[in-house]
């Protein structure tokens, strides 16, 4: 836990039981540790979750399974936090992974619809806007979702948006944070951990990062009563990618952009990078967000400064 988060939140974030879907992942684990002291939390995840706090019940199931419906039928769950679209560790084909993710989330929306859930928080990502040459420097929540290859993430985000209109009485919140740093497995954080860091020659876009603890705080705030809608989240002021790499004390490995996709395979095999090919454009064009709505609506304000947020890339157990 970082210095800026030494002051723990003592108040409850939400009056009823909160189900966290995807809690066995790295970020889920962190979120549950920050919430379980003040709130009633249960965990739903197809993965094992052995390192959970003792007072947290874990349901090892996929959302689309019958067992999960029972959790909602009898568990008195009043809020759901869905952490991203994928939770299974099974190695499946991309198409079936996609189908599973969509099916799971639509089932979750079904449970929210039927079993008196009052609040649904989806942790999406600012990456759903897509990194494109025509992007304005800061995208607002109204910008179209143009990411083409992030598979289920964008679709899940859009499903949550339509659910917003289907059940206006349920407070649906979609959070779209910038690249998350910390012990979590965010795409950018994982990418920045390799050394040297692969970059695109002649391109140096501005990058927004957000510390995982700031994201936890944002989720806590979004759980409060009355907040609904889509919210972008960003951390400290943005920096050029090259500066971030410099501040981490790493070297860059510049490759020509037109060869990047071809070089990614060999570089990945050599362990030189772990960048997903879908994210190459994020090293080329800006994809940054305007987060004033979150700041004014539920009082979000990042506690971690530039140094702390960048250094968090290296928190890795």
Partner 1 sequence: MNTSERQTMDSTDKLLSMTESLIDKGGSALRRFREEVLIDLDGRLKVISDKIGEDGVDPFGMDPECLRRTAVAASFLYKMYFRCSTVGIDNVPDGPVIIVANHAGQLPIDGLMITTALIMEGERPRLARSMVDRWVPTVPFISTFYARNGVTLGTPENALLLLKRGEALLTFPEGLAGITKTVDKAYQLQKFGLGFMRLALATGAPIIPVSVLGSEEQYPTLYNLESLGKIVGLPAVPIWAQMIVPVFGLLPLPVKYHLEFGEPMYFASDDDEEDATVSLLVDDVRVAINDMLEDQRGQRRSLFW
Stretches 10-18, 34-42, 57-65, 132-140: which one binds partner 1 (CB under 8 A)? 132-140
Q: Tell me the C-alpha distance between 99 and 314, whole Å.
A: 33
Regarding 252 and contact with partner 1 (CB under 8 A), the answer is: no
Q: Closest distance between partner 1 and the C-beta of residue 303, in Å?
A: 17
DSSP letters along 276-308, please? -GGGGGGGTS---B--HHHHHHH-----S-HHH
Stretches 43-51, 68-76, 91-99, 136-144: which one binds partner 1 (CB under 8 A)? 136-144
Contact 233, 294 (CB under 8 A): yes
Q: Return the closest-CA partner of residue 236 out of 219, 211, 218.
A: 211
Stretches 75-83, 105-113, 114-122, 137-145: which one binds partner 1 (CB under 8 A)? 137-145
Say if strands 17-21 and 179-181 run parallel, antiparallel, or are unpaired.
unpaired
Residue window 182-221: x/- pattern of binding to partner 1, with contact defined by CB under 8 A: ------------------xxxxx-x---------------
- In 27-45, which positions are buried (b, 16+ CB within 10 angstroms) versus exposed (e)? bbbbbbbbbbeebbbbbbb
Q: Return the closest-CA partner of residue 162 out of 145, 179, 140.
A: 145
Stretches 42-50, 133-141, 185-193, 270-278: which one binds partner 1 (CB under 8 A)? 133-141
Regarding 60 and contact with partner 1 (CB under 8 A), the answer is: no
Q: Tell me the C-alpha distance between 5 and 110, whole Å.
A: 36
Q: Pick the binder of partner 1 from 133, 144, 249, 271 (CB under 8 A).
A: 133
Please report, in angstroms and rounded to a whole number, the separation of the first and last CA atoms in the chain. 13
Q: What is the largest CA-CA distance in the chain?
A: 57
Regarding 306 and contact with partner 1 (CB under 8 A), the answer is: yes
Residue window 151-170: x/- pattern of binding to partner 1, with contact defined by CB under 8 A: --------------------
Q: Closest distance between partner 1 and the C-beta of residue 66, in Å?
A: 47
Name the β-bridge partners of 252: 197
Contact 34, 23 (CB under 8 A): no
By beta-carbon proximity to partner 1, the closer residue of 113 and 204 is: 204
Stretches 66-74, 98-106, 129-137, 175-183: which one binds partner 1 (CB under 8 A)? 129-137
By beta-carbon proximity to partner 1, the closer residue of 103 and 204 is: 204
The residues that touch partner 1, with contacts defined as CB under 8 A, are 133-138, 140, 200-204, 206, 236-240, 243, 256-257, 285-286, 306
């Amino acid at each position: 836990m970082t210095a800026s988060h030494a002051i723990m939140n003592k108040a409850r974030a939400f009056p009823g039981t909160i189900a966290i879907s995807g809690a066995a992942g790295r970020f889920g684990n962190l979120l549950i540790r920050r919430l379980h002291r003040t709130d009633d939390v249960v965990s739903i995840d197809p993965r094992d979750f052995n390192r959970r706090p003792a007072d947290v019940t874990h349901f090892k199931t996929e959302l689309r399974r019958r067992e999960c419906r029972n959790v909602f039928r009898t568990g008195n769950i009043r809020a759901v936090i869905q952490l991203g679209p994928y939770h299974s560790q099974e190695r499946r084909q991309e198409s079936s992974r996609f189908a599973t993710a969509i099916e799971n989330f639509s089932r979750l929306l079904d449970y929210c619809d039927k079993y008196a859930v009052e609040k649904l928080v989806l942790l999406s990502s600012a990456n759903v806007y897509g990194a494109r040459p025509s992007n304005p420097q800061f995208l607002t929540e109204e910008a179209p979702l143009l990411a083409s290859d992030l598979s289920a993430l964008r679709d899940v985000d859009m499903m949550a948006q339509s659910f917003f209109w289907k059940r206006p009485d349920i407070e649906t919140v979609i959070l779209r944070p910038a690249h998350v740093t910390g012990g979590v497995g965010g795409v950018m954080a994982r990418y920045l951990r390799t050394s040297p860091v692969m970059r695109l020659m002649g391109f140096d876009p501005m990058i927004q990062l957000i510390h995982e603890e700031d994201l936890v705080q944002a989720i806590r705030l979004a759980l409060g009563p009355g907040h609904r809608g889509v919210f972008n989240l960003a951390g400290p002021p943005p920096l050029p990618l090259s500066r971030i790499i410099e501040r981490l004390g790493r070297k860059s490995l510049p490759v020509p952009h037109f060869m990047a996709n071809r070089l990614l395979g060999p570089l990945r095999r050599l362990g030189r990078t772990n960048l997903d090919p879908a994210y190459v454009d994020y090293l080329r064009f800006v994809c940054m967000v305007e987060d004033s709505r979150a700041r004014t609506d539920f009082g979000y304000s990042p506690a971690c400064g530039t140094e702390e947020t960048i250094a968090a890339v290296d928190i890795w157990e």
